[in-house]
Amino acid sequence: MKTKAFIKHALTGNEAAAYAMKQINPDVVAAYPITPATEIVQIFSKYVSNGEVTTEFVPVESEHSAMSVCVGASASGARVMTATASQGLALMHEILYIAASLRLPIVMVVGNRALSGPINIHCDHSDAMGSRDSGWIQMFCENANEVYHTVIMAVKIAEKVNLPCMVGMDGFIITHGMEVIETIDDEEVKRFISKRTPLYSVLDIEKPITIGPLDLFDWYFEHKRSQLEGMLQAKKVIPEVVEEYNQRFGTNFPAFLETYRMDDAEFAIISMSSAAGTMKEAIDIKREEGLKVGLLRIKTTRPFPYEILREKTKGLKAIGIMDRAESWSTMGGPLSIEVKSALYPLDKRPFAIDFVFGLGGREFPIEDAFKIIDITRKLSEGEEFPEFVHIGLKE
Amino acid sequence: MKFKSWKDLPEGAIVRDVPTSPEFKTGDWKSRTPKYIPEKCTHDLLCWLYCPDSAIHVKDGKIEKFDLDYCKGCGICASICPQDAIEMVEEEV
């Protein structure tokens, strides 16, 4: 049952996210501006002023307050959204954990940007990777069109499993890059997300509750185990919601992992976000030259799709993992560490190498994508390399 | 405690059976106990007003009793009393 044709707009990633938020018409949005995600809430505040949404918009004095307001509002049963980036996300850090542990389905768009220092406003994934253990569902989009649709899906996913969800897009590359976005109409969005059914509401005077109580060595551990159920449930719900969306609107978005030209691939690149777009182009060119290379684009990193990765890397000779963040473990970036540990229990594993690239918005030209393919090919042929290499670094 | 395992816990670590504070006897925190001297007491009820734990019970405008299940022994009642009608004494162990 595909819907009528999409409505096409020329929008940046920020505009696309704000437009999705307008169609969602959340009950509460609390936000503080920060480059490169400022526009999302700036545009959204215009919708509020123009009466195009009925949202209670709370302009706060910091991101710590923004997330705190989101927690309070969400605990009352409201549908709540916000947006941030980089230092803003870092300032929210302690409240992120609280939102997740209270099982509040807040949806937040993140314009992925480097963390200080030195101060930098451009794209990398160090902000979101710093929140990877906060208990939020984390998704990363390849382009602005995917951001628009993912934000809508995220509302349904989050509210079904009662966990907050972060939708990431590369700072400036996606947040400020204009694209043709194919939107669905307001009524379709409303019908798809329907209404939130909260686990509890602090405003329900018939059923008074205490939230956020002190919880020491006697039950904290059990509460954390209970929280894990949400993430395990998300592994089932994310593909269901994405499949429902694809069916209804004729789209083809991945739930966890997108495979590109993997059918007869002998080695693969594992990538996330906008760099995957560049990598697809590079793979097309290298395929013309006869190289059997494919791409696995990881869309969702929390919960981490380790079973799918095991399945999709079966029979590969080598994988090259692309990390737009440092982990300071001295064994590569965070994505490579997780991908490698996902494959560890297998009898036959591909050779693996990590490519740390694009930090602080360093350009990722197609020549660098070729370089990554070339090194991964050599690795598949048995050549030795260090655990990780830097791509695009002035050496 | 009615819970046996993590599976019994309500999601979001919320507490449904409220209020829970009456079950939590904070009285065993104290090392000093208020000793009430009725002869000096004028029943101005300042102690009742200032007690942070609502541990002083009043009936018909008069001090009825000190509820030692909840009195933490802070001594605010003794220090606020203009008549010195309350003395803090060391708990006997």
Give residue-wise pLDDT tens across range B40-60.
Answer: 999 999 999 999 999 999 999
Q: Is A245 exposed, middle or buried (0-12, 13-18, 19+ CB in 10 A)?
A: buried
Arithmetic mean of pLDDT, A61-76: 98
- Give how far Cα A212 sits from Cα of A69, A74, A164, A215, Å: 15, 14, 16, 8
Contact B14/A210, CB-based, under 8 Å? Answer: yes
Q: Bridge-partner residues for B35, per DSSP?
A: B87
When pLDDT is cut at 50, 70 and 90, the band that residue B20 belongs to is confident
pLDDT tens digit string along A235-250? 999 999 999 999 999 9
Q: Is the pLDDT of residue A266 over 60?
A: yes
More confident call, A151 vs A214 = A151
- In A, minimum Cα distance to B3 occurs at A219
Burial code (b: 16+ CB inside 10 Å, e: under 16) for A223-234 equals beebbebbbeeb
Cβ atoms of A75 and A201 within 8 Å: the answer is yes
Pick the CATH number of A257-391 from 2.70.98.10, 1.10.10.10, 2.160.10.10, 3.40.50.920: 3.40.50.920
- Give how far Cα A321 sits from Cα of A173, A340, B11, Å: 20, 9, 36
For residue B24, what pLDDT is reported?
86
Q: Is the pLDDT of residue B91 over 80?
A: no
Q: Is A187 exposed, middle or buried (0-12, 13-18, 19+ CB in 10 A)?
A: exposed
Distance between CA atoms of A136 and A158, rounded to whole angstroms? 9
Can you read off the two tokens belonging to residue B39? 């002869």
Contact A211/B9, CB-based, under 8 Å? Answer: no
C-alpha radius of gyration, chain A, whole number: 21
pLDDT tens digit string along A217-227? 999 999 999 99
Whether A199 and chain B come into contact, CB under 8 Å, resolves to: yes
Q: Is the pLDDT of residue A1 over 60?
A: no
For residue A344, what pLDDT is reported?
97
pLDDT tens digit string along A314-347? 999 999 999 999 999 999 999 999 999 999 999 9
Distance between CA atoms of A172 and A175, rounded to whole angstroms? 5
What H or E segment, with its residue span, contains residue B76?
helix B76-80
For residue A6, what pLDDT is reported?
85
When pLDDT is cut at 50, 70 and 90, the band that residue A4 belongs to is low
Can you read off the two tokens belonging to residue A10? 């020329």
Domains A7-249 and A257-391 share a fold: yes
For residue B22, what pLDDT is reported?
86
Can you read off the two tokens belonging to residue A126? 């160090």
When pLDDT is cut at 50, 70 and 90, the band that residue B27 belongs to is very high
When pLDDT is cut at 50, 70 and 90, the band that residue B33 belongs to is very high
Q: Bridge-partner residues for B90, per DSSP?
A: B32
ipTM of the complex: 0.85
Residue in A323, A346, A318 with CA at minimum distance from that of residue A333 = A323
- In A, minimum Cα distance to B14 occurs at A211
Can you read off the two tokens belonging to residue A218? 């006697």
Distance between CA atoms of A293 and A44, rounded to whole angstroms? 42
Whether B23 and chain A come into contact, CB under 8 Å, resolves to: no
When pLDDT is cut at 50, 70 and 90, the band that residue A3 belongs to is low
- In A, minimum Cα distance to B21 occurs at A210
Contact A222/B9, CB-based, under 8 Å? Answer: yes
For residue A108, what pLDDT is reported?
98
Arithmetic mean of pLDDT, A24-35: 98
For residue A197, what pLDDT is reported?
97
pLDDT tens digit string along A136-194? 999 999 999 999 999 999 999 999 999 999 999 999 999 999 999 999 999 999 999 99
For residue B23, what pLDDT is reported?
86
Considering the domain A7-249, what is its CATH architecture? 3-Layer(aba) Sandwich (3.40)
When pLDDT is cut at 50, 70 and 90, the band that residue A103 belongs to is very high
Arithmetic mean of pLDDT, B14-32: 89
Distance in Å, alpha carbon of A135 to nearest chain B alpha carbon? 12
3-state secondary structure of B6: helix
Q: In percent, how much of chain A has pLDDT > 90?
A: 98
When pLDDT is cut at 50, 70 and 90, the band that residue A288 belongs to is very high
For residue A5, what pLDDT is reported?
64
Kindly list the domain boundaries of chain B, sorted by start residue: 26-90
- B26-90 belongs to CATH 3.40.50.10490: no
Average pLDDT, chain A: 97
For residue A27, what pLDDT is reported?
98
Contact B13/A211, CB-based, under 8 Å? Answer: yes
Whether A208 and chain B come into contact, CB under 8 Å, resolves to: yes
When pLDDT is cut at 50, 70 and 90, the band that residue B19 belongs to is confident
For residue B2, what pLDDT is reported?
80
Q: Is the pLDDT of residue A200 over 90?
A: yes
Amino acid identity of residue A187, one-letter, is E
Distance in Å, alpha carbon of B71 to nearest chain A alpha carbon? 20
Whether A203 and chain B come into contact, CB under 8 Å, resolves to: no
Arithmetic mean of pLDDT, A262-267: 97
Q: What share of chain B is helix, strand, coil (3-state, %, to 5)?
A: 25, 20, 55
Kindly list the domain boundaries of chain A, sorted by start residue: 7-249, 257-391
